[in-house]
Structures are given as structure tokens and as C-alpha cells.
A and B are shown apart, each in its own frame.
Chain A
């Protein structure tokens, strides 16, 4: 306990926490509550709200566009998550070395993360452009036929994932590197003395000791993937014929193009609940974080 009178304690608590709490409640908590409230109404801004109870939620589950958008988001999460984590891990193995190669690798692999969504989306939309893009130019130069990277529904999502991988794998690399650096050198030395090869070291020592980091990476990656929007919006616009439309885009369209705010709010709340579920798992697994 600190030795000073409790005289200004109340004042200080208010003074220090009010700015944050004001912004937090006004712009993060209140919108969630308001969104929850709106989800029980039909509202198009122009007329008065009409109470409809759970109708919006029921509609979502029978709305083929909601279900397909949700499915596309899940598709993105399920395919991209292991890919971006594993690649991030491999990058970390390379970058964590104190050699020149290690430093260059770290710099290069993380650089894309600094770019904004629209720059990444625009760049990769250009690379995957059907007639003049780099990807098809490379294919043609080795005699293969060009692909509809963004126009073929069986490939479009993959293209988006490739762009996302390039953009964000470096972030996971940093987290894994930090975790690796925390493993005491002595453990590796002991293993070497015991005659363990690099593969054994990797699988029996490094990976198990990175369990906590891996969990953090997994949860952060999943949460980020659920929110995917920018690069899809710029690269395919949700096409071809809506086959890459993700949930956030559908919510955005429903609210801002079709003006069905109650319905859009309901879908937002559903997304929120899914993300909440995933986040809660993280917090349950690491109880000491909240102390």
C-alpha cells in the first residue's frame, strides 16, 4: 500500500479514468447495447421503428444470403487460419536467428503488414488480373494456361487467402519469434549434448514450449479472420456472383445500401456472439492474464 492519505483518491480515480471510460462507454459499449436493441426492430431510418421481436434473427437463419455470407466467412477462417499460422511459424524459425539472413527475413516478411487493406487489395487485384496481371503472365511464360484468379468461383477465395497470407503472416512471425526468444538457451544446449537433431529439437522442445504463444496466435488469427472485409471488397467485390461475399460485407450492404438497419444489427450481433465465444475460450485458458 502506498503511504498517502485517501484524501484525493476519489477525485483522482475520476480524473484519471473518466476520459477513457467516457470514450469507451460512448463509442464501444453503447453501440453494442444499441445494436442489440435495434436488432429487435425493423427500421429504415426514414420512418419510425417497428418492433418485431425476434423476427430479424429468425429471418437470418432462413436468408440464403446471410447463410452463404456466413459460410464464406467460416470458409475463409477455416482455410486461412492454419495456413497463416504455419507459415508464420516457419518464418519465425528463419527470422529468429541472429544472422544477417535472419534480420533481413524478419524485415521483409513483416513489411507487408504495415500496408493498409486497400493497398494490399488493390495490389493483389492487379497481380491476379485476368489478362495483364503478373500471376497469369508468369503462368503463360512457362507454357501453362491462365487462370481466372478472381473470376473463377473455385479459385477466387483462394486468391483472397493468398493475398491475406502475404499481408499478415509476418504478424504471427513476430509473436512466434518473441515466444521462441523466451525459451532458455540452456534447454537447447542440453538437448544438443544429448545428441538431438534439429528435427527432434523442433518437435520435442520448441513446439511444445510455444504452446501458450500458439494459443494466442490461434485466437488472434481466428478473431481477425472473422472480421475479414477490406481485401474481399477491393479484390472481388464479393464476386463472382456473390461466392466470396463475407458476412461483414453483407451486413454493410444491408445497412448502408438496403437500409434495413434492424436486420443488419441482428446479423452484427450474431457475428459478435461468435467472436465472443472464441475470445472467451482464450480467456478461460489463460486465467492469470486477468490479474
Chain B
């Protein structure tokens, strides 16, 4: 009897010590997030999250990838119901859809508390995340439209300088077509799996290179039916209709495939295809920022940002955990650059890891020239409409004035609603 009691007491002590010990070991804080990255982007991002989780014990990030097409539907519904995860990836151009209804937290104070030095960010993309002077998101990257050139085809055509002005661009393209038989410029101009967004991105860039913004200051009217718009539209139309350096009816997937298979000399697209081209054996190319076709540099860019949804009750621990995650991710932007994107944090660009990546350093300066898309919730519809309109006008070879007037009418109708 006594022995049993003794044993029992010993066991009890053992168990209680163990359980107290177990309580002392902190369970890592679980932070949930949604990311919209799929395919190659998705793989790189997931790898980074894994590395973050492995690098420390306090926070573990849990993710859930959503098909890109539906991401904003789910996100919007979740934000409205206040059931969104702790941190979300969001395109910069969507911020103006969400911020006015107060579903995202302003981050200035949290960034300060988390010790994130905002001056280490490239200011242009960071400022694009501010609405009414408050910071609502932190940019992870900018992915501008850039120019890819097939160096072998350039050499074969006897071109030694990369085109910088509009006339140089067309001359180079024509020469490539004549001397090598390859396509001059692979730029998509028809809808297939995707709309002809490249046309819109080039149009916006060319407008901004002339100092003109696509909408007026308060986003109530279109601002492109003018000299600058005419020059921009004409350039695009000439590319297809006058100089015929871009085939008609070329869709996005085909334009990427053409450049990848060495069938095109020049390709305009976002930085995200760099990874794809790198893996193509035998493709000898260079990637540089979008040329200053009208004198100054400007490039359309999307930007992936991190934002923190408003919850029913703010859990400070989770918000600070999310800020820590954001800090780490942006500082390790050179890992994200593997997907082709340009890191927004100067501290990430200034690393030997980033500099050792092929091509990325060549266009990293594109981040300086990015401009925001009009901060209006009607932008998604306008973006689609401009793409359709440009596609149609170029396909039907309309003159600039007619094309722009039509587009202006349609856009103004939408902005009015």
C-alpha cells in the first residue's frame, strides 16, 4: 500500500512537471494569409514562406492559394464579413476599391512599432500604396512592363544598340524582319485566354512618358483624347498596321511562345516571364526597362502588396506578427526576384544574392519609373474596356482621333455611373 502511494505520488509529480514544462514551451503564433500567386510565382512564394517559418519559432504562416480569377471575389466577400485572414496579398490597383469602406487597416503606426524603416523602400511604389496620405499596404514588388530583346536576332540583323526612341524601335523591328525573317515585335493585340492587356499597358506607359495621366485628377473623366493620346495610339497602331512589325491577331500566350522559341526579336511584357525565358535552352536575351519612346521614362507596373484586413476585434499580437512577416519577406526580396519581379526594398536589391541573378539587375531600375493606376474602384472595368477598345480600333485600323473619341465616350460613361 505504502509503496503504491509512493509510486502514485511520484507519477503525479512527474506528470505535473512535464505538463508545466510543456506550457512553458511557447506554441508558435499561427498567422493566416491568402496569396493569389499561382504557377511559377506560387512556387517561389511558397518557398519563401517555408523559409520564413523555418527561420524563427514565434510565428508560423499558413497559406491558401486561390485561383487568380476568383481571388478578389472571395477576398471581397471575406473582407465584408470581417472573416478575412490576418494578412493578404493584394494588387496595388485594387486598394482604392477596398480602402474607402474601411476594410483594411492603416499601417503607418504598426510599421513604426515593428521597426520597419520605410525609407529603405523605393519611394515610388511605396507612395502608390498611400491613400489620403495614409499607408494601407506595403509593396513586395513592382512588376513593370519591360522590353525583352533576342540578342542573337539582333546580331544577325546587324543591330548593335538597343532601341531607345520610337523611330529606333520601328527601325530595329523592320530590320530584324527583313534580315532574319523573324517577327519584329511580339506584342499581343487580341483576346484569348487573356485580354490584350499589353496594348493598354503600353498605351498608359506612353501617355505617362509624355507627362499625361490616363484620367483627370479626380478620376471623373478620361484624359487621353489629346495630342499625347494620339501619339501613343498611333505608335501602337503603326506597329501593327503601318510597319507591320507585329502580326495581327496575336494573343498573349502566342506572343510569349514566339519570343521564347526565338521567333521574335523584341517582346513587350511584364517582368514575370523572365523566369520562363531563362529556362529556355538556347534563348540568348536581354531584359531592360521600357524605353523612353517619347523622351522620358515611365512604365506601367502592377505591384503585389501586403495588406492587413480589419477584423471584428483587432488582435494586436497577430497584426504585429503579420508586420514581422512582411518585414522579412520584403527584406528577402532577392528570393522573390527569382520569379522575375523587382523587389521594392533597396536593402534587398543591394545584396549580392540579387546582383548575382541574371537579368534582374538589368531592369531593376525600372522600379524608379512606375506610376500608379487611377485610384478609383471603377478601374477594373475601365482597364478591361480600354483593352477591348484598343484591340478593336487597331484591328479595324481606325485613325487616332476616331479611336480615341470612341474610347473616351465609353470610359466617361463608366466613370459617370
Direct A–B touching, Cβ under 8 Å: yes
Interface hits, A2-51 → B, CB 8 Å: 44-47
> Which of A45, A240, A242, A253 has a CB less than 8 Å from the CB of B76?
A45
Q: Which of B101, B193, B395 contacts A46 (CB 8 A)?
A: B101
Binary contact readout A228-263 vs B (1 if CB under 8 angstroms, 0 otherwise): 000000001111111000000000010011110000
Q: Shortest distance in angstroms between A47's beta carbon and chain B's nearest beta carbon?
A: 5
Size category of the binding interface on chain A: 20 to 34
Quick check: A150 and B192 within 8 Å, CB to CB?
Answer: yes
Q: Which residues of B contact A151 (CB under 8 A)?
A: 190, 192, 249, 251
CB atoms of A241 and B389 under 8 A apart: yes
> Which chain B positions have C-beta within 8 A of A239?
190-192, 195, 388, 391
Question: How near does chain B come to A146, taking the closest CB pair, in angstroms?
Answer: 10
Indicate which residue in B79, B98, B380, B391 contacts A240 across the interface (CB closer than 8 Å): B391
Asked if B417 is at the interface of the complex by the 8 Å CB criterion, the answer is yes
Residues of A111-168 contacting chain B, CB below 8 A: 125, 130-131, 148, 150-153
Which residues of chain B come closer than 8 Å to A259, judged between CB atoms?
A: 76, 97, 377
Using Cβ atoms and an 8 Å threshold, which residues of chain B touch A258?
A: 378, 380-381
What distance in Å separates the Cβ of B156 from its nearest Cβ neighbour in chain A?
A: 22
Complex Cα–Cα for A150 and B249 (A): 9
Q: Tell me the B64-114 residues at the A interface (CB within 8 Å).
A: 70, 72-73, 76-77, 79-80, 97-98, 100-101, 103
A46 and B249 within 8 A (CB): no
A64 within 8 Å of B by Cβ?
yes
Chain A interface, DSSP helix/strand/loop, else mixed: loop
A67 to chain B, nearest CB (A): 13
Residue B254 lies at the interface, judged by CB distance under 8 Å to chain A: yes
Select which of B72, B100, B192, B410 is within 8 A of A237 by beta carbon: B192
> A45 near B80 (CB under 8 angstroms)?
yes
Closest to B389 in A: A241
Bound form: Cα–Cα A131–B249 in Å = 11
Query: Which residues does chain A contribute within 8 Å of B80, judged by CB atoms?
Result: 45-46
CB distance from A280 to the nearest CB of B (A): 33
Cβ of B243 within 8 Å of any chain A Cβ, yes or no, is no
Cβ–Cβ < 8 Å partners of B381 in chain A = 257-258
Chain A residues positioned under 8 Å from B249 (CB to CB) = 130, 148, 151-152, 240
Contacts of B73 in A (CB 8 A): 256-257
Whether the pair B101, A237 counts as a contact (CB closer than 8 A) is no
CB-CB under 8 A from B191, the residues of chain A are: 236-242
**Which single residue of chain B is at the shortest CB-CB distance from A156?**
B191
Interface 1/0s, chain B 363-401, versus A by CB < 8 A?
Answer: 000000000000001101100100011011001000000
Measured CB to CB, the nearest residue on chain A to B257 is A131
A59 within 8 A of B: yes
| Chain A stretch 85-118: residues in CB contact (< 8 A) with chain B | none
The interface residues of chain A lying within 8 Å CB-to-CB of B79 are 46
Q: How many Å lie between the Cα of A148 and that of B410 in the bound state?
A: 27
A131 to B263, alpha carbons, bound, how many Å? 13
Looking at the assembled complex, report how far the CB atom of B316 sits from the nearest CB atom of chain A, in whole angstroms.
24
0 or 1 for each of B343-360: is its CB under 8 Å from A? (1 = yes): 000000000000000000
A151 to B251, CA, bound (A): 8
Instruction: Chain A residues near B388: list those with CB within 8 A.
Output: 239, 241-242
Tell me how far the C-beta of A129 lies from the nearest C-beta in chain B, rounded to whole angstroms.
8
Q: Which residues of B contact A59 (CB under 8 A)?
A: 417
Q: Chain A residues near B392: list those with CB within 8 A.
A: 240-242
> Are B76 and A237 in touch, CB under 8 angstroms?
no
Contact A46 to B103, CB < 8 A, known contacts A151-B249, A152-B249, A242-B388: yes
Q: How far is the CA of A145 from the CA of B227 in the complex (A)?
A: 40
Asked whether B410 lies within 8 Å of A64 as measured between CB atoms, the reply is yes
- Determine whether the beta carbon of B190 is less than 8 Å from that of A240: yes
B414 to chain A, nearest CB (A): 9
Contacts of A64 in B (CB 8 A): 410, 413
Is there an interface contact between B70 and A241, defined as CB atoms closer than 8 Å?
A: no
Expressed in whole angstroms, the Cα–Cα distance for A151 and B247 within the complex equals 12
B168-195 Cβ-contact flags toward A at 8 Å (1 or 0)? 0000000000000000000000111111
Docked complex Cα distance between A152 and B80 (Å): 41
Which B residues lie within 8 Å of A46 (CB)?
Answer: 76, 79-80, 97-98, 101, 103
Q: Check A236–B417 contact: CB distance below 8 A.
A: no
Residues of A within 8 Å of B101, CB to CB, are: 44, 46-47
Within 8 A of A (CB), among B122-139: none
Alpha-carbon separation in the docked complex, A256 to B191 (Å): 20
Closest Cβ of chain A to B417, distance in Å, is 7
What 1/0 mask marks residues of chain B from 53 to 72 whose CB sits below 8 Å from any chain A CB? 00000000000000000101
B24: shortest Cβ distance to chain A, in Å? 43
Most buried by B among A153, A240, A253, A259: A240
Q: Kindly list chain B residues whose C-beta atoms are within 8 Å of the C-beta of A236.
A: 191-192
Distance A150 CA – B391 CA, assembled complex (angstroms): 14
Residues of A within 8 A of B254 (CB): 130-131
Most buried by B among A125, A153, A236, A242: A242
Q: A45: which B residues are within 8 A, CB to CB?
A: 76-77, 80
Task: Return the chain B residue nearest A65 by Cβ.
Answer: B385
Residues of A within 8 A of B378 (CB): 258
Nearest residue (CB) in B for A150 is: B192
Which residues does chain B contribute within 8 Å of A131, judged by CB atoms? 254
A130 to B188, CA, bound (A): 14
In the assembled complex, how far is the CB of residue A139 from the closest CB belonging to chain B, in whole angstroms? 15
Find chain A residues with CB under 8 A from B195 CB. Answer: 237, 239
Q: Is the CB of B377 within 8 A of A256?
A: no
- C-alpha spacing A244/B119, complex, angstroms: 48
Closest to B77 in A: A45
Which residues on the B side are within 8 Å of A242 (C-beta)?
Answer: 191, 388, 392
**Given A130-B249, A239-B190, A241-B190, 6 other A-B contacts at CB below 8 A?**
A44-B76, A47-B100, A237-B192, A239-B388, A240-B392, A257-B72
Can you offer 8 A-B residue contacts whose CB atoms are under 8 A?
A: A46-B80, A150-B192, A151-B192, A240-B249, A240-B391, A241-B392, A257-B381, A259-B97
The 3 lowest CB-CB distance pairs between A and B, nearest first, are: A239-B191, A151-B249, A46-B101
Residues of A within 8 A of B (CB): 44-47, 59, 64, 125, 130-131, 148, 150-153, 236-242, 253, 256-259
